[in-house]
Amino acid sequence: MTDSSEKNSLPAPISFWSAFWFWLKLGFISFGGPAGQIAIMHQELVEQRRWISEKRFLHALNYCMLLPGPEAQQLATYLGWLMHRTWGGIVAGLLFILPSLLLLILLSWVYIAYGDVAWVAGIFYGIKPAVTAIVFQAAYRIGKRVLNNQWLWAIAALAFIAIFVLKIPFPYIVIGAGVLGYIGGRWRPNLFQSAGHNAAQKNYGPALIDDHTPTPAHALFRWSRLTGIVLVGAALWLIPMALLWWVYGWQHQFTQMAWFFTKAALLTFGGAYAVLPYVYQGAVTHYSWLTPTQMIDGLALGETTPGPLIMVVAFVAFVGAYVQQALGAELQFVAGAAAAVIVTWFTFLPSFIFIFAGAPLIETTHQNIKFTAPLTAITAAVVGVIVNLALFFAYHIIWPEGFSGELDWLSAAIALLAAVALFRFNISVMKVIGACALIGLLVHTLML
């Protein structure tokens, strides 16, 4: 059979276990943040394997873009559900985050147990300035996509002033931006249209789930199904929360972490960088689970592991429970690992509920999603919030002793080099982090 005929023929049906091994592989190779993860799924599922057409892929992605939570993980859950029902979505979503969770538990333990070892300290000395440049790049990328008129620029500026100058908590900024977007969408809807993902359609050949493939029976919207999913989702949240409260009490680290990261999960519009200021406000300032330096180190670890960046919450939980000896001095690792698992559960549970509850309606309608103006405004506000986060990181890295202390010229130079590599030469995040880690190790070795 020729290449042309192969391209024009329908791919063979995909078994549940074939999909299982693909999702497991994806969990280990999903580097590069949401953009890189979505690109990998598009290349694998649309271009090469042809499990789903580009139009259906983008239709699912546009829905995931509207939700709070990591859109790449939600997209994997959506596609797994569409192909193999509820268990397909559960497997795809879990395998997207499971490798990252296990790696972060291990790396968090190495960090907290051996962080004072010279070579480990040297690596982090180089990585942390790179993280500052990466966060600035995140603000630039989101801003370039969203801030396409002066009104959205104004919302971004107001968000920056609100969090940087007025110290307004992140949830109120999200609510305020959403209200502005709602009003603006009714007044001047053309100014608040989401950029979305409107890639040019290409012909990759027929797909198993093609543009005009009928919606599978399990993907049809039914009120009874929606009610059942909401009730099951509520139970999956309420029962673990009640158990934590009953066993440990409301003020225990485990219970407070479960409650705090439930709220964080519902505020992650615009990706992990958007919610990190909220996590910082809670984990560092309010609860004192970890220090500002540890928060930066955690983001560095999150950038170097596969899976969604919001998995940095596992590091936050591990360090907080380990250092504060949530289960006593003899069970520090167990406490850290348990906290990481607990936080991961409460962070990602809403994402699964949103997909299983809302995707049938999206699949049934097959129309463009409307009323995106509030979310466009929130994403604009996110740009200002991320700039604040980048400045926060830069301050703690370049002036580690505060403005009254000396400037760390070496850290500033590494941050500048990382910025040039990212902005000017478009070098991948992983390569920049690797190079900066090597520079930090060399500098730290020479300084000893």
Which tens digits make up the pLDDT trace of 354-375?
A: 999 988 887 775 544 445 677 6
Give the pLDDT band (50/70/90) at residue 77.
very high
Residue 210 located in a structural domain: no
Residue 343 located in a structural domain: yes
What pLDDT score does 33 carry? 61
CA distance 351 to 268: 10
Average pLDDT over residues 159-184: 84
Residue 137 located in a structural domain: yes
Least confident of 47-51, 209-213, 225-229: 209-213
Residue 82 located in a structural domain: no
Task: Report the number of distinct structural domains present in the chain.
Answer: 1
Residue 202 located in a structural domain: no
Average pLDDT over residues 205-223: 81
DSSP per-residue codes, 99-159: HHHHHHHHHHHHHHHHTTSHHHHHHHHHHHHHHHHHHHHHHHHHHHHH--SHHHHHHHHHH
Tokens describing residue 355: 């997909």
What pLDDT score does 205 carry? 75
What pLDDT score does 370 carry? 47
What pLDDT score does 241 carry? 97
pLDDT over 60 at 200, yes or no: no
pLDDT over 80 at 245, yes or no: yes
Residue 227 located in a structural domain: yes
What pLDDT score does 5 carry? 54
What pLDDT score does 196 carry? 47
What pLDDT score does 2 carry? 45
* The model's pTM: 0.73
Residue 362 located in a structural domain: yes
Residue 286 located in a structural domain: yes
Burial pattern 303-332, b for ≥16 Cβ within 10 A else e, equals bbbbbbbbbbbbbbbbbbbbbbebbeeeeb
pLDDT over 90 at 286, yes or no: no
What pLDDT score does 198 carry? 43
Give the chain's mean pLDDT.
82
What pLDDT score does 117 carry? 57
Expressed as residue numbers, the domain containing 272 is 100-191+217-447
Least confident of 66-70, 221-225, 232-236: 66-70
Burial pattern 62-93, b for ≥16 Cβ within 10 A else e, equals bbbbbbbbbbbbbbbbbbbbbbbeeebbbbbb
